[in-house]
Amino acid sequence: MTKKITIEPVTRVEGHGKVTIYLDDNGNVVQSRLHIVEFRGFERFVQGRPYWEAPVLVQRLCGICPVSHHLAAAKAMDVIVGAGTGDGLTLTGEKMRRLMHYGQIFQSHVLHFFHLASPDLLFGIDADPAIRNIIGVAMKFKDIAVQGVMMRKFGQEIIEVTAGKKIHGTGAIPGGINKNLSIEERDRFLYGPDPMNVDKMISWSLDAVNFFKDYHKKHRELIDTFAAFPSNHLSLVRKDGAMDLYDGVIRAIDTDGKKILHDVDPQDYLKYIAEEVKNWSYMKFPYLVEYGKKDGWYRVGPLARLNTADFIPSPLAQKEFEEFKAYTNGKPNNMSMHMHWARLIETLHAAEMMKELLNDPDLQKDDLVIKGTRVNEGVGMLEAPRGTLFHHYRVNENDQITMANLIVSTTNNNEPMNIAVRCVADSMISGQKEITEGMLNAVEVAIRAYDPCLSCATHALGKMPLEVSLYDSKNNLIDKKRT
Amino acid sequence: MKVLLYGYGNPGRQDDGLGNEFINRMQEWVNKESLEGFEFDSNYQLNIEDAHAISDKDLVIFVDASIEDIPDFCISKVTESSKMSFTTHSASPGYVLDLCKKLYDKSPVTLLLHIKGYEWNFKEELTKKAEDNLEKAIDYFKEKLRNPISLIQFEIPEF
């Protein structure tokens, strides 16, 4: 008899997701799948709209990572207005956008670690769900919880001054930016009262990295083996191989570290990346064309970025990067839970980059926009908090968008998340007579490591409980749990 | 007395922007009337940093769109809740209040205004019915905000 376990929706991830795990007569896992309901209608919605509206319109897509979509669309429109890519902008234009982006990376990573991951780490995966949350952290580890709150607030305030406003920011426009950073705005972040200044953010980021490393020492087996599996890794890197979260060329490596995509121009991504449709999921499965659907899938996000980059161009993060790389003897790190370690190193890097940019006088200059010869097609790519984000548009002679293709970070991680679920199901659920809440949470922990965002911006529609259903081989519902 | 009015939602998703629009209009009205002691905020969703934002307030009024079967608008008193909301990167009003209490040992009187919405597509425009509900909620609060202390001793009214 085959049993089916359904976890629907997965808690603490965006949008609608459910997990089904099929068991055979002996209770062994025979198949597992992560199903995701994703809004794809957006690509059609933008058709017919003037191209210059795209950087604002795309923020309707997702209320969680609107800044990433804002900047990716603006980068695509840079190409269309003839401003080129990356360093084609004015120094002020590019650096203001970078500051906005690092603010976004910082606040998003902080939220993920302190709000989502730390309860599992501090209390244990199988701890009582009543305490395994940020409120539980607040009660037992108050200092850590306060740090999380203030660090996120700092990142949000960086976004507000660079994007112009909290909702539907207008900072990035085709060919540049619509404002610079005033001295008053700059000083607020450089010299603000404790703890709201960038030096404190760097110090706390370093503390967070050390917290994780200390935890790792005490729980090495869990962190090193939980949902670990070999994979390819893909991200943008700077042309010299440095980590660059805002701009660069596309690099992919295999599980042994061999380059399998050799620093290609994002404008050519369609030559190298395709998407497979599967009949059981609304979300597509991207893969490297040269290696096919079976072997060409890859991971994106913090772990992938630390695997693909040759170095990190900020001193404290570089030191941590070296330690991270040394742990696997310079080989790619394929341990899913090390995603948290990588994320915290990136948090530190983002804090350092914010400080470097805040001290840069180019941010007070007035040369904000550049334009050149208009073309009809552009690709904008960046490394969003969760991974590589692709925005591709075509426009007609009337300046209307005729085609949009978006590959979001969570879509890039679709296959890895499915494999992570299978790993955990095999190791923790197979052969067990009883499915406990702790086991089900373990499946979710594996998914949460990838910090998926399923584009459910309309929060009024997103209020759904966790539902777990158990089916027998004839699809009869034999058990159901709801949180 | 310090009062925070805080709307949340995505105004790019039709009626999901009811909370944000409530804040826009109330702020305009409060400025015009030269009322003092009010702060306004608006965002896509509530989050953990809002625990800090409410910690120095006497009264907090969160404003949200609702898909539920409610009257045109309704008000409820928020109580502390440690229950995680479904979405990862957002928090419920009760969750924010609970976090505020745990981290800052403060518990401002907190109300939640729900305004009924109807459509949630990729459009930056309220539906006519949602607009009507918004107007009714604004009229109600214009009267209340002239004397916000009355809201501190708030009893859930009949609508």
pLDDT at res. B89? 57
Is any Cβ of chain A less than 8 angstroms from the Cβ of B79? no
Q: Which domains, from first to last, does chain B contain?
A: 3-152 (3.40.50.1450)
* Alpha helices in B56-152, H assignment, sequence order: 93-104, 128-145, 149-152
Q: pLDDT confidence of A333, banded at 50, 70, 90? A: very high
User: Of all residues in chain B, what percent are helix, strand and coil, respectively (each to 5)?
Assistant: 35, 20, 40
Amino acid in position A35? H
pLDDT at res. A380? 97
- The yes-or-no verdict on residue A84 having pLDDT over 60 is yes
CA distance A434 to A437: 10
Maximum Cα interatomic distance, chain A, rounded to a whole number of Å = 70
> Residue A57 to residues A174, A310, B10: CA-CA distances in angstroms?
13, 35, 12
User: E strands of A277-386, at which residues?
Assistant: 285-288, 298-299, 377-384
> What is the pTM for the complete model shown?
0.90
ipTM summary value: 0.84
Is any Cβ of chain B less than 8 angstroms from the Cβ of A300? no
Q: pLDDT confidence of A453, banded at 50, 70, 90? A: confident
Contacts of B100 in chain A (CB under 8 A): none
Percent of all residues in chain A with a pLDDT value above 90, rounded to a whole number: 61
> Residue A98 to residues A105, A175, A252: CA-CA distances in angstroms?
10, 14, 23
Q: Which of A292, A324, A110 lies closest to A205 in space, CA to CA?
A: A110
Determine which of A150, A167, A386, A455 to mutate to test the interface with B (most B C-beta atoms within 10 Å): A167
Report the residue of chain B nearest A444, measured CA to CA: B88
- The yes-or-no verdict on residue A38 having pLDDT over 60 is no
Burial of B127 (0-12, 13-18, 19+ CB in 10 A): middle
The single-letter DSSP state of residue A369 is B
Rounded to a whole number of angstroms, the distance from the CA of B61 to the nearest CA of chain A is 18
| CATH number of the structural domain A90-228+335-369 | 1.10.645.10
Phi-psi region of A248 (alpha: psi -120 to 50; beta: other; left: phi over 0): left
Q: Where are the domains of chain A?
A: 3-38+413-482, 90-228+335-369
- The yes-or-no verdict on residue A470 having pLDDT over 80 is no
| Site of tokens 């305490």 | A131
Average pLDDT score over residue span A399-425: 91
Contacts of A41 in chain B (CB under 8 A): 122
Tell me: the pLDDT tens digits for A51-80? 999 999 888 777 678 899 999 999 999 999
